[in-house]
Structure formats: structure tokens, C-alpha cells
Amino acid sequence: MSTQVNRSDEELACLSASGSSSAFAELVERYEGRCYRFARRFGLSAQEAEDAVQDAFLAAWKSLGRYDPGRPFGTWLMTIQARRASSIARARRVRLRHERAHTGEESSVERRAGEQSGLWARIMDRLGVDASTMLWLRYVEDLTPAQIARVLGMNAGAVRVRLHRIRKRLIEEFGRELLDDVPVQCDTGVRFAECGP
């Protein structure tokens, strides 16, 4: 068993900044699944999400010298991941608009996105990428409004207000019964109806 497993994320980040590839490998092991699931919240395909995760880890490796170990590593990494996934999603939207303008047809990527199933896909479809991303960070990643603000480059007060409004809209869109019966798929088993922003 590696001695890296018993270290905190912040310790591993400091070791990684000093050149320890095994410490960084442990961070990748801990976060690659979370980063991938988070990248998918931006509506990215599986391949696009994998690219976004790889880009985020590469950017994190290059930026470790600027990481502040007094702050949670996960929040710092998710900030990088959000930027990479957002950039890929934005480029894809531009490409799809261009294709649609030339062909007048829905692309195969748009058709596949429309065929997604599950609660999170329905939330993203009805509320949009920004709202579903904020909900994902709060209820799945269990970030505080202040941490979400750092990830999304917003004010913490604005995050609280947006979360309140998004949750209210969720209830309007899906009905209170659905929210009471459908737990968020995360470690805590928290239900939207039980959570405040």
C-alpha cells in the first residue's frame, strides 16, 4: 500500500508541486471520476468529458506552484475542470450552430443529447447547463455556496440566491412529489427536498 493514500489532498498537492509524480497520481486516482461526472454536467459527450478531464489535470499539474494549500484542493481542481468543460461546451455550441445553419438539420450530437435519460439529464434539459451545474456542485459534490462561488467565479451571496431560485424552479418543473421521492445520487443520499442552499 502506498504511503500517499494516507495523506490529505492538500499534502499530496504540495508534494506534487515539489515534483512527486506518485503524489499527483494519487490525486488523479481520487478525483478523475468526480471530474468526469462533473464535466458531463456541461452536456459533454463521453469523449469530450474525457478530454476535459485530461486538460484539467494537465492544467492542474502545470499550476501546482500557484495552489494555496490553505484552501481545499478539490475546490481548486473543480474550478479548473469547470473552465475546461465550459470551454469545450462553448466550442461545441458554436460548431453545432454553424452546422445547423448550413444543413438546417439537428446534428447527431444534438440527437444523442436529447436521448439522455435520468434525473440529471432531465434537470439539464429543463433548467439548462448553468443551473444543473450549480445543483451538481451543491448536492452531489457537497460544496458550500462559498466554494461554488470560487468554482464558478461568482459572489457567494449570488450563489445562495441562485440556488434558492433554482430549487424553487425544480419544484415547479418536477412537482414536489418527485423531489421527495428521488434522492440525489451521491454518497450522502441527500434529497433535494431536504436540502437548503
Q: Which range has the worst mean pLDDT, 17-31, 43-57, 119-133, 142-156? A: 119-133
Please name the fold of domain 1-115. Rna Polymerase Sigma Factor; Chain: A (1.10.1740)
**Amino acid 64: pLDDT:** 94
Which residue type sits at 168?
K
- Listed in order, the ranges of the chain carrying CATH 1.10.1740.10 are 1-115
- What residue type is assigned to position 169 of the chain? R
DSSP SS3 for 104: coil
Residue among 141, 107, 106, 110 nearest 125 (CA): 110
> Average pLDDT in the 65-88 region?
90
Contact 42, 88 (CB under 8 A): yes
Q: Which fold has domain 116-197?
A: Arc Repressor Mutant, subunit A (1.10.10)
CA torsion 164-167-172-175 (nearest 10°) is -140
pLDDT over 80 (residue 191): no
Instruction: Outline which parts of the chain fall under CATH 1.10.10.
Output: 116-197
- 109: pLDDT strictly greater than 60: no
More confident residue, 110 or 150: 150
The reported pLDDT for the residue numbered 104 is 62
Q: At what angle do helices 9-17 and 21-40 cross, to 10 degrees?
A: 120
Among 10-24, 38-52, 108-122, 181-195, the range scoring the smallest mean pLDDT is: 181-195
pLDDT at 106: 53
Residue 180 Cα distances to 136, 161, 176, 194, angstroms? 17, 22, 6, 8
Is the distance from CB of 193 to CB of 176 less than 8 angstroms? yes
108: cell is 447527431
Instruction: Read off φ and ψ for residue 191, nearest 5 degrees.
Output: -100, 145
**How high is the pLDDT of residue 96?**
73
